[in-house]
A = this chain, B = another copy of it.
Amino acid sequence: MENSDSSRSDCPYELWDEETVYSGPWITAKQVQFRLNGTNSQGVWQSAHRASKPFTKNADGVDIVAVLKKGGKKYFVLVKQYRIPSRTWMIEFPAGLVDTSDADVEACGLRELKEETGYSATKVLGLSSGKQILDVGMGDDSVRFLTVEIDGDAEENKSPKQELTDDEHIQVLTVECDKLLEFLDQVNKSDDTEVEAILYTFALGYSFKTRFGL
């Protein structure tokens, strides 16, 4: 029986009998018994985790929000790749896993942007602190968001060349910033391509005032 995780005084649940019910090379499944403090409401919570990942403070990955300025216009740089877990093509932010030895998340993000899209960021605008959780009900997989600007008129970005590994097949898309939400709404209606949720909500936020006047 392990219940150290519920010893934090602010946890509203009593947690006990945590166990790893599946341990594979990439995925671990865990379960724990839970009871909301002060109630008799009890249950089992199962969750999925990246293998060999402890409950850590570090993010698993970094997603890059990249604005390409080129010829007086602004574009978001996105990627399209086939995703095996959902068996569909997916429109996503460029992204990569952060190696546990890779303390410099910003450098990791810039390298992933260059490898996946061929573009070199000209300016780093921001990096989210901490980590943001991708699927809060099912797991603890997490990312940080690196926001960058790319000068598309600079020599190094005139003919961007991807640097993909043998098993990657990533397509690069550039979408005019003000047309991003409209573009993704069309993708959502298509049969063979989906949109990752973090990209969709980014687009929804970006065009929120324009679309809803709010």
A-side residues, CB < 8 A to B, are: 5, 8, 10-13, 15, 21-22, 24-27, 29, 31-32, 34, 36, 39-50, 55, 61, 65, 67, 74, 82-87, 89-90, 92, 125-126, 128-143, 145, 147, 149, 165-169, 177, 185, 188-190, 192, 194-209, 211-212, 214
Which residue of the partner chain B has the closest CB to A209? B206
A195 partner residues in chain B, CB cutoff 8 A: 130, 132-133
How many angstroms between the C-alpha atoms of A202 and B200 in the bound complex? 8
Given contacts A10-B192, A196-B136, contact A44 B22 (CB under 8 A): no
The reply to whether A197 and B198 form a contact with Cβ atoms under 8 Å apart is yes
Taken together as a complex, chains A and B put the C-alpha atoms of A40 and B167 apart, in Å, by 9
From A23, which residue of chain B is reached at the shortest CB distance? B22
Q: Given contacts A22-B29, A85-B139, A132-B201, list 4 more A-B pairs with CB under 8 A.
A: A34-B84, A45-B84, A125-B214, A149-B212
